[in-house]
């Protein structure tokens, strides 16, 4: 991989040469580039008469050279087709770099923004996450495994990693099996149904048992009940950690437990090759067990075509990396991820406005690529400043402060820039390395230095458009009603600046919608719209209701929320029937009208509630969504197919049931929008 000038190139080759001959390496993590992967494949072909080609895997989480928006950002597009397109871009760049296996998508449900890995997933809702899971699996793998420019997907982390207590990464998960089945499994099931080739076992325990050593989770549930037939890889060191958990006596015992649980491949280290031979000698495992574990890995190597052609064309990367097609995809996906939360009419920016662009993240190339980037080229990244200038805006830039430190001089320059402009666009947020793995946080506000900057700019009296670039939903209570406009721009990757400028100038409608509820304060978390009811629901009427004495119980912005530059009305709700049998289906339709003066996009969202159940049911559950694009004054009909089967849940005995009874449904533009409401009954 000399084209990337890596000094670890020789270490990698030497490590390989030492271990491959002893049969200890079958796949390789973090080696990228056609030259090095070809070289290692060649070593392998030359050493053995019947060589087994290597499988190179990597964290191509949201792009390789072209960095796409983070998965959390992508989910806010409410457009699974966009995620499929992004995954295909990532797959192609990985493929030409010799990587045929990506450790993505992360389809863990995340309901706690303290958890840094919320940035890697598709938000809090099982239905929405499922649609993104299947779309990304398709994008990575193509129509069938082995298709050129496509790679194996790896759904992770099985299971319930996002449910870690306190939002602390790697922490225990203690949850009912009903919640596990109804909330955390569906996205994995959707990915399995879409053909996901591999699954990664999680670090955490579920109800006391580490996932990486649980035969119940990895074999009985994942394979026997859910029908997964690819291979399971451990997480990095998650087998070794079985000892630290207090679940294995020593490393040999850890290997035995992980292997017996159903982990086909150990990620990192030699534990499997070190201990499995002895476990066979002791009669704890048989050679047949090992053959059975290896078979799905070999099968996928065959399907990938690695036995026929293990090499990749070394001239392709240059043409594929950061090509126009990929940059265009990145920009188009990115602009649909931006969620506009407040707007007094200042956006889109009127032409000829003088803009002061302020903030430590306004001209930051690495930050906007997010916490996971694979082989990025920060030099090719378009910052917000560059994007605004590319769009022809009259911009004066001032940093204002460092990420965590104020400077009087920088503050003065920023104030001066604001005073000499018509509008201040301020870009703030937690730095990229404050979210992601092991980046749990107990505070969800902006750093003090940035809050001070914002207050100072607000004090100039100039209207402030605040853009928050972050990997998690930031708490905005102290300033959201003082700014003229507020948007989450997340981390949009290589084309961030152009995507942001497209929305600021109104070239494109603001059309992202939240996929996580935004808390008013950290004390509210975990907070999500689809919680079960209580006997004392929060109605805001009496004291003895579920809630807080010092804080509202509702989120600041609900799931599904986001503003457009236009306005939309939903009307004419129709149900094809008001009664369906448990094996029947219902069609729900409504009219969406663009009532504003601009073309725009909105998302019609279908929610249901099972009014009486043998287990208390969530107050709302998303069951469908449609993104529509409408010219001013235009309208269209959207329809949703709602099979009774989609109403199923797991009862007290963990049986999957569709219970007869009354259901309420709503079609709205966010989870709290109850404008259109209907009811239907499910009969035996």
Degrees, nearest 5: CA angle 524-559-81: 140
Q: Does 194 bind ligand NOJ (CB under 6 A)?
A: no
Return the number of the residue (377 or 437) whose C-beta is nearest ligand NOJ: 437
Contact 487, 467 (CB under 8 A): yes
Return the number of the residue (61 or 355) whose C-beta is nearest ligand NOJ: 61
Tokens of 309: 């052609």
Write out the DSSP string of 286-332.
-HHHHHHHHHHHHHHHHHTTTTT-----TTHHHHHTT-HHHHHHHHH
- Residue 237: CB minimum distance to ligand NOJ, A: 8
Return the number of the residue (39 or 156) whose C-beta is nearest ligand NOJ: 156
| E runs forming strands in 435-495 | 464-468, 485-488
Q: Is 345 left (phi over 0), alpha (psi -120 to 50) or beta?
A: left
Residue at token pair 């397109």: 85
Return the number of the residue (267 or 458) whose C-beta is nearest ligand NOJ: 267
Residue 646 CB coordination number (10 Å): 16
- Please give the Cα distance from 298 to 304 (Å, whole number): 10
Return the number of the residue (491 or 594) whose C-beta is nearest ligand NOJ: 491
- Residue 37: CB minimum distance to ligand NOJ, A: 17
Return the number of the residue (141 or 421) whose C-beta is nearest ligand NOJ: 141
Q: Which of residues 235-254 bind ligand NOJ (CB under 6 A)?
A: 235-236
Helices (H), 486-613: 496-504
Q: Which of residues 404-463 bind ligand NOJ (CB under 6 A)?
A: 437
Q: Does 156 bind ligand NOJ (CB under 6 A)?
A: yes
Catalytic residue, from 79, 112, 169, 235: name it: 235
Return the number of the residue (235 or 621) whose C-beta is nearest ligand NOJ: 235
Contact 213, 246 (CB under 8 A): no
Tokens of 664: 């309420």
Selection from 199, 192, 194, 115 nearest residue 161 by Cα: 115
- Please give the Cα distance from 300 to 152 (Å, whole number): 9
DSSP SS3 for 18: helix
Q: Are strands 423-428 and 464-468 parallel, antiparallel or unpaired?
A: parallel
- Please give the Cα distance from 656 to 101 (Å, whole number): 34
- Residue 241: CB minimum distance to ligand NOJ, A: 11
- Residue 137: CB minimum distance to ligand NOJ, A: 16
392 CB-near residues (< 8 Å, 6+ apart): none
Q: Which of residues 91-120 bind ligand NOJ (CB under 6 A)?
A: 103
- Residue 11: CB minimum distance to ligand NOJ, A: 17
- Residue 214: CB minimum distance to ligand NOJ, A: 17
- Residue 518: CB minimum distance to ligand NOJ, A: 25
- Please give the Cα distance from 361 to 429 (Å, whole number): 7
Return the number of the residue (61 or 485) whose C-beta is nearest ligand NOJ: 61
Binding mask of the shown chain, residues 210 to 239, with x at each position contacting ligand NOJ by CB under 6 A: -------------------------xx---
- Residue 295: CB minimum distance to ligand NOJ, A: 23
- Residue 678: CB minimum distance to ligand NOJ, A: 42
Return the number of the residue (289 or 437) whose C-beta is nearest ligand NOJ: 437
Q: Is the peptide bond before 105 cis (omega within 30 degrees of 0)?
A: yes
Return the number of the residue (164 or 588) whose C-beta is nearest ligand NOJ: 164
- Residue 304: CB minimum distance to ligand NOJ, A: 19
Return the number of the residue (156 or 365) whose C-beta is nearest ligand NOJ: 156
- Residue 172: CB minimum distance to ligand NOJ, A: 16
Tokens of 240: 């070794």
Tokens of 211: 């996932």
**DSSP letter at 559?**
T
Q: What is the dihedral of CA 181, 187, 193, 199, to 10 degrees?
A: -90
Q: What are residue 410's phi and psi, to 5 degrees?
A: -65, -35
| Catalytic annotation present for 125 | no
What helix, strand, coil percent values describe the chain, rounded to 5?
35, 20, 45
Selection from 504, 503, 530 nearest residue 516 by Cα: 530
Cα-to-chain-centroid distance, residue 271: 31
Residues paired with residue 603 on neighbouring β-strands, in sequence order: 627
- Residue 170: CB minimum distance to ligand NOJ, A: 9
- Please give the Cα distance from 533 to 472 (Å, whole number): 26
DSSP SS3 for 273: helix
Tokens of 543: 């004291």
Return the number of the residue (266 or 517) whose C-beta is nearest ligand NOJ: 266
DSSP SS3 for 256: helix
Using CB under 6 A as the binding criterion, the count of chain residues that bind ligand NOJ stands at 6
Tokens of 71: 């998965």
- Residue 31: CB minimum distance to ligand NOJ, A: 13
Selection from 132, 126, 118 nearest residue 474 by Cα: 118
Return the number of the residue (60 or 428) whose C-beta is nearest ligand NOJ: 60
| E runs forming strands in 110-215 | 154-158, 198-201, 205-206, 209-210
Q: Which residues of 367-384 are buried (b: 16+ CB within 10 A; e: fewer)?
A: bbbbbbbbbbbeeebbbb
Q: Which of residues 46-85 bind ligand NOJ (CB under 6 A)?
A: 59
Burial class of residue 398 (count of CB atoms within 10 Å of its CB; 0-12, 13-18, 19+): buried
Q: Which residues are catalytic?
A: 235
**Binding interface with ligand NOJ (CB under 6 A):** 59, 103, 156, 235-236, 437
């Amino acid at each position: 991989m000399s084209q990337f000038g890596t000094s670890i190139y020789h270490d990698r080759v030497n490590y390989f040469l030492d271990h491959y001959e002893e049969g200890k390496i079958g796949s390789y993590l973090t080696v990228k580039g056609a030259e090095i992967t070809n070289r290692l494949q060649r070593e392998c072909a030359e050493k053995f008469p019947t060589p087994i080609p290597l499988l190179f895997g990597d964290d191509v989480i949201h792009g390789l050279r072209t960095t796409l928006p983070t998965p959390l950002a992508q989910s806010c597009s409410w457009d699974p087709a966009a995620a499929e397109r992004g995954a295909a871009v990532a797959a192609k760049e990985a493929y030409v770099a010799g990587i045929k296996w990506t450790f993505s998508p992360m389809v863990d449900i995340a309901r706690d923004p303290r958890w840094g890995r919320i940035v890697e997933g598709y938000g809090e809702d099982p239905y929405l996450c499922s649609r993104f899971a299947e779309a990304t699996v398709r994008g990575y793998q193509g129509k069938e495994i082995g298709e050129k420019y496509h790679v194996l997907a790896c759904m992770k982390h099985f299971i319930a990693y996002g449910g870690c207590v306190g939002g602390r990464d790697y922490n225990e998960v203690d949850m009912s099996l009903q919640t596990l089945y109804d909330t955390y499994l569906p996205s994995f099931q959707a990915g399995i149904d879409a053909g996901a080739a591999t699954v990664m076992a999680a670090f955490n325990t579920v109800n006391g048992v580490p996932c990486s050593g649980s035969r119940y989770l990895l074999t009985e549930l994942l394979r026997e009940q859910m029908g997964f037939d690819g291979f399971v890889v451990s997480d990095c060191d998650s087998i070794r950690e079985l000892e630290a958990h207090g679940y294995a006596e020593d490393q040999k015992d850890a290997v035995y437990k992980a292997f017996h649980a159903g982990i086909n491949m150990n990620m990192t280290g030699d534990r499997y090759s070190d201990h499995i031979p002895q476990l066979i000698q002791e009669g704890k495992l048989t050679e047949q067990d090992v053959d059975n574990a290896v078979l799905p890995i070999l099968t996928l190597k065959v399907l990938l075509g690695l036995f026929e052609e293990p090499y990749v064309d070394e001239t392709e990367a240059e043409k594929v990396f950061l090509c126009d097609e990929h940059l265009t995809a990145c920009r188009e996906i990115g602009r649909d991820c931006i969620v506009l939360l407040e707007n007094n009419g200042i956006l889109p920016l009127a032409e000829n406005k003088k803009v002061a662009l302020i903030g430590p993240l306004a001209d930051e190339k690495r930050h906007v690529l997010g916490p996971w980037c694979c082989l990025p080229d920060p030099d090719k990244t378009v910052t917000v400043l560059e994007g605004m200038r590319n769009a022809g805006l009259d911009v004066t830039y001032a940093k204002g402060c460092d990420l965590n430190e104020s400077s009087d001089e920088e503050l003065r320059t920023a104030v001066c820039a604001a005073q000499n402009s018509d509008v201040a666009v301020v870009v703030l947020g937690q730095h990229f390395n404050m979210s992601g793995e092991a980046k749990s946080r107990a505070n969800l506000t902006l750093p003090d230095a940035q809050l001070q900057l914002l207050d100072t700019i607000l004090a100039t009296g100039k209207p402030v458009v605040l853009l928050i670039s972050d990997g998690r939903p930031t708490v905005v209570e102290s300033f959201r009603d003082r700014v003229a406009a507020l948007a989450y721009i997340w981390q949009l990757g290589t084309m961030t600046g152009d995507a942001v400028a497209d929305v600021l100038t109104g070239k494109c409608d603001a059309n992202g919608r939240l996929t996580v509820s935004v808390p008013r304060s950290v004390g509210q978390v975990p907070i999500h719209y689809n919680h079960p009811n209580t006997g004392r629901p929060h109605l805001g009427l009496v004291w003895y209701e579920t809630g807080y004495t010092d804080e509202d119980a509702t989120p600041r912005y609900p799931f599904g929320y986001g503003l457009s530059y236009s306005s939309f009305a939903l009307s004419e709700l129709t149900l094809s029937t008001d009664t369906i049998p448990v094996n029947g289906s219902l069609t729900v339709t409504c009219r969406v009208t663009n009532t504003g003066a601009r073309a725009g996009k909105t998302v019609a969202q279908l929610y249901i509630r099972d009014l009486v159940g043998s287990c208390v049911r969530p107050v709302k559950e998303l069951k469908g969504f449609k993104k529509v694009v409408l010219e001013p004054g235009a309208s269209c009909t959207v329809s949703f197919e709602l099979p009774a089967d989609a109403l199923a849940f797991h009862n007290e005995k963990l049986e999957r049931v569709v219970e007869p009874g009354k259901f309420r449904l709503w079609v709205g533009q966010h989870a709290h929008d109850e404008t259109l409401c209907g009811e239907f009954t499910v009969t035996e």
